[in-house]
Copies of this chain bind each other. A is one copy, B any other.
Amino acid sequence: MANKKITSRSEDFAQWYTDVVNAAHLSSYSNVKGCIILEPNGYAIWEMMQKRLDKMFKETGHKNVAMPMLIPENLMRKEGELINGFAPEVAWVTMGGDKKLEERMCIRPTSETLFSDYYASVVNSYRDLPLKYNQWCSVMRWEKETRPFLRSREFWWQEGHTIHETADEAEKETKDMLGVYEKFFKDYLAIPVLTGQKTESEKFAGAEYTLTVEALMYNGVCLQSGTSHYFGQKFSKAYDIKFADRNNGTSYVYQTSWGVSSRMIGALIMVHSDEDGLVLPPRIAPVQVRVIPIGKEEESKEIYDLADKLYNDLDSKNISVEIDRTEKSPGFKFAEAEVLGIPVRIEVGKRDLENGLITLVRRDTKEKIQVSKDCDIASEVNKLLDTIQKDMYDRALTRRDEMTYEVKSLEEFEKQMNTQPGFIRADWCGSTDCEARIKEIRGCKPRCIMPNDKLLTGKCLVCGNEAKHLVTWGIQY
């Protein structure tokens, strides 16, 4: 694996991003237009994300299922807003073998329709509720542009779909799952997020409202990183999901859905990585430590024995560790561990060893830490991994805060966006016209409404009328 050159982040952020993806072998373009391949290093990160999130979903009472990947057109059309939202970007299957299908089917762009149809067939009584299901799968949206992890026709995600007896319960679920996402971003990805409600024009097709998790990238561009939707009874009425209620009557269920996707890998890169490659937070890194013995194996028995011992000590304490026994030069080995984003490398070399030492190197800061070769290595490494995790979050939070700007006029807004984009806080009257005016500024959109924050001026930044909300705005991927 050659350590390809990585473009300077400040010179060309987009190229830097692509270079990191390639150099760390996370993903590659396929010969299937608009579709990417998750290579082993990229897929391993996705597996870690799945593992952590799946545990959180199960702990909150959710169960996994698998729905078909195809949706017959009629089933898709039952709820009008959804099909209107997705029709322009679905892939249609029209032939099975050499026969034209009687009814064409689309590859799922999202599965509200299938879950609703299924729920309608299994729910009879309020005693059957709630049903809280999730599936891990890939979905297909016929996008024109492709950018690895951020936008591609096929992407990998989870979609939770739940039905409830009451609106209160469903709204609580919508909010709870947003909380799960927020916690996951903070505790595992070391990414601080804004959470809140989308405006009417930005909500999911068919939802009563959409809650969102918004992250800020290193360059000040925003990434919508997860959403949780409250549907009320829109789908349950369209798909006839009824149940015998507690009052001997018949009611429609209240419904939610929520999802995060492989796009989170893009967020990891654009929040934490640098010009030497990937930087992974320890709690999501597939490999946390790489031990690198320095010198030729046949001439360095003591070094290799110690490297093996360190490996075994770490492995036995459930630290994810590798050992690099290749014959490449030390410099090459160090660079490779760096480009892959491995949080800690341990260098075992002759000079150190003469002083009874080994060297731990942090990926995030490049700081070198010498410790005794006889130390309790698992405990040293665990401490260091915790420190790295915390420091990475703190740095991302500081940067996010530094790149959050309050503006009080359209001129200030425009100036800020043209010098340094970021999270822009500004008052808004709630009209779509004013929203559209702001969109003219580099495609800037409302990220989310900040219901608990005090208005800045009390006047809409565009029209000057009374403001209804403080909103955080930004350019988006």
Contact = CB atoms under 8 A, between A and B. Distances in A.
A36 B72 CA distance: 14
Given A44-B64, A138-B66, A121 B28 contact: yes
Nearest to A75: B31
A142 interface: yes
A133 to B, nearest CB: 7
Given A37-B65, A64-B47, A65-B40, A90 B97 contact: yes
Given A47-B64, A66-B138, A30 B118 contact: yes
Taken together, the copies of this chain in the complex come to: 2
Contact of A93 (B39, B68, B72, B91): B91
Query: Among A36, A47, A89, A97, which residue has the most Cβ atoms of chain B within 10 A?
Result: A97
A70 interface: yes
Given A30-B118, A96-B91, A98-B88, A69 B38 contact: no
Contacts of A72: 31-33
Interface residues of A, number: 53
Given A30-B117, A37-B66, A47-B64, 19 more contacts: A28-B118, A30-B114, A31-B72, A32-B70, A32-B75, A32-B114, A33-B72, A35-B70, A37-B68, A40-B65, A43-B64, A46-B66, A70-B91, A70-B140, A88-B97, A91-B96, A93-B93, A93-B94, A97-B142
A238 interface: no
A83 to B, nearest CB: 12
Contacts of A105: 32
Contacts of A156: 66
17 contacts: A30-B117, A30-B118, A31-B72, A31-B117, A32-B72, A36-B68, A37-B66, A37-B68, A38-B66, A40-B65, A43-B64, A44-B64, A69-B154, A70-B91, A90-B96, A95-B104, A96-B142
A67 B97 contact: no
B88 A95 contact: no
B118 A67 contact: no
A63 B40 contact: yes
A87 to B, nearest CB: 7
A133 B43 CA distance: 11
A272 B88 CA distance: 48
B138 A67 contact: no
Interface of A: 28, 30-33, 35-40, 43-44, 46-47, 63-72, 75, 87-98, 104-105, 107, 114, 117-118, 121-122, 133, 137-138, 140, 142, 154, 156
Given A31-B72, A71-B32, A94 B95 contact: yes
A92 B93 contact: yes
B37 A67 contact: yes
